[in-house]
């Protein structure tokens, strides 16, 4: 059996009390914190941890009870008390460390939550800005498209006007050429139709 674990019989022998006296001290709370069950060769044995041993030792060495609870152990009770105090101090130290770790974890979680909330607010603001920019762009785009349509409509009109002007100028040029050619035709006609005078030089 390990030095840190003692059976009820070993405790009774050491404290010079009956096993019933030891069992009487094993309350439910004591069992939950300081008693373990070990199975060896199919047999279950209750064993007390070192902390439980020290608590039982303190009780039995300082007990004023009579009968089986009376202790004949001559060991120094002060030493036992100091050992128990040291153990309890160690346990308190461990608990304090655990509490510090928990506080640190809670603080980290709080920081993460704050960061997440800040990021969510930033995302919301950015989304609103993007929406505003999109609406502004849409508002700018509609008149621009209208003016482009007007330009597109007015551009062919100007081209048509220019073409009409050119056609008119060409028409006038053709008319002038027609007039010239008509005058020339009439001249030719007149020359052709004018009777020629034949002079006879003979008699």
What pLDDT is recorded for position 77? Answer: 46
Task: Provide the whole-model pTM.
Answer: 0.30
| 70-124 pLDDT tens trace | 444 444 444 556 677 878 888 888 888 888 888 888 988 888 988 889 999 988 9
Mean pLDDT, 10 residues at a time, the chain of 203 residues: 74 86 87 84 82 85 53 46 76 85 88 89 88 86 58 71 87 80 76 60 49
What pLDDT is recorded for position 2? Answer: 55
The overall average pLDDT reported for the chain is: 77
What pLDDT is recorded for position 71? Answer: 41
Q: Report the DSSP beta bridge partners of residue 38.
A: 45
What pLDDT is recorded for position 144? Answer: 52
Pair of tokens at residue 124:
């919301």
What pLDDT is recorded for position 64? Answer: 38
What pLDDT is recorded for position 106? Answer: 92
Q: CB under 8 Å, gap of 24 or more: what pairs does 4-9 form?
A: 4/49, 4/50, 4/53, 5/36, 5/38, 5/47, 5/48, 5/49, 5/50, 6/47, 6/48, 6/53, 7/45, 7/46, 7/47, 7/48, 8/46, 8/48
Backbone torsions φ then ψ of 83, nearest 5 degrees: -65, -45
């Amino acid at each position: 059996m390990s030095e840190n674990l003692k059976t009820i019989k070993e405790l009774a022998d050491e404290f010079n009390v009956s096993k019933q006296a030891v069992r009487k001290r094993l309350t439910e709370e004591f069992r939950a914190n300081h008693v373990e069950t070990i199975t060896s060769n199919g047999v279950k044995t209750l064993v007390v941890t070192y902390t439980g041993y020290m608590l039982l030792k303190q009780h039995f060495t300082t007990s004023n009870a009579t009968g089986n609870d009376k202790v004949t152990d001559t060991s120094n009770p002060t030493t036992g008390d100091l050992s128990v105090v040291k153990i309890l101090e160690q346990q308190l130290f461990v608990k304090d460390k655990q509490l510090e770790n928990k506080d640190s974890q809670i603080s980290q979680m709080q920081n993460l939550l704050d960061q997440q909330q800040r990021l969510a607010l930033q995302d919301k603001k950015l989304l609103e800005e993007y929406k505003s920019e999109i609406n502004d762009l849409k508002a700018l785009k509609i008149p621009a498209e209208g003016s482009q349509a007007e330009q597109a409509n007015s551009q062919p009109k100007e081209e048509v006007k220019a073409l009409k002007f050119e056609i008119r100028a060409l028409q006038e040029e053709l008319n002038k050429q027609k007039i010239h050619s008509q005058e020339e035709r009439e001249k030719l006609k007149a020359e052709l139709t004018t009777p020629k005078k034949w002079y006879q030089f003979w008699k």
